[in-house]
Amino acid sequence: QKPPGRVQPDIADLVGIARRGWFFIIAGGIIGLLGAYAVLSNLSPIYKASSRIAFERTLSRYLQSNKITNEPLIEDADTLGQIYVISSESIVLPVVKALSLTSDPEFVGEQGTENLGSRIRGLFRAASHAAGLREETPREAPSKETLEKIAVDGVLRNLSVTREDVASVINVAFTSKDPVKASTIANAVVETY
């Protein structure tokens, strides 16, 4: 006779379930560990380099000696606004030009190579051309401005500009697959600013 309502399984039931399904538990654990190892061994490491900008909040000697102002020269809101200035295109574009990132495959992709998406688009283009739905147009090389825009977007995607715990310090960080490139770009953004 079973009591009405929900029945809670006891420890003996759980042990019985584990004993009957031990093969699936062990096989699932091994497959999960092998899958995790395969994914982690094929991932390339990502390096992050950071540089800090500290704003001087003290008054200059001239202003102090002439008693012009007693207020700090840079307010907290000013440093917060500088985050947007640092991560703007007016700062990043000179960095892209100075470091010639328009020819870097990490930012603009490999020229002349195809990835899966471009192969699928090419397949559809070829099929529509064969069916007579579309004329085949020759592909032209992207312009310098287009490459610069793509490189700027790539830099901005990996650039992180944040304010530190101290209100007058801004942290500029850049992530890349190459540690030298990460530090070079982070330093170049700070120097350009």
Q: What is the pLDDT of residue 8?
A: 76
More confident residue, 82 or 31: 31
Query: Is the pLDDT score of 191 beyond 90?
Result: yes
**pLDDT tens digits, one per residue of 158-182:** 999 998 877 778 899 999 988 999 9
Query: Is the pLDDT score of 131 beyond 80?
Result: no
More confident residue, 93 or 136: 93
Structure tokens at 137: 């147009």
Q: What is the pLDDT of residue 95?
A: 92
**pLDDT tens digits, one per residue of 62-119:** 555 655 555 555 566 667 788 888 888 999 999 999 998 888 888 877 655 556 666 7
Q: Strands 47-54 and 169-176: what pairing? A: antiparallel
Is-contact 178 49, C-beta < 8 A? no
First to last CA, the chain: 80
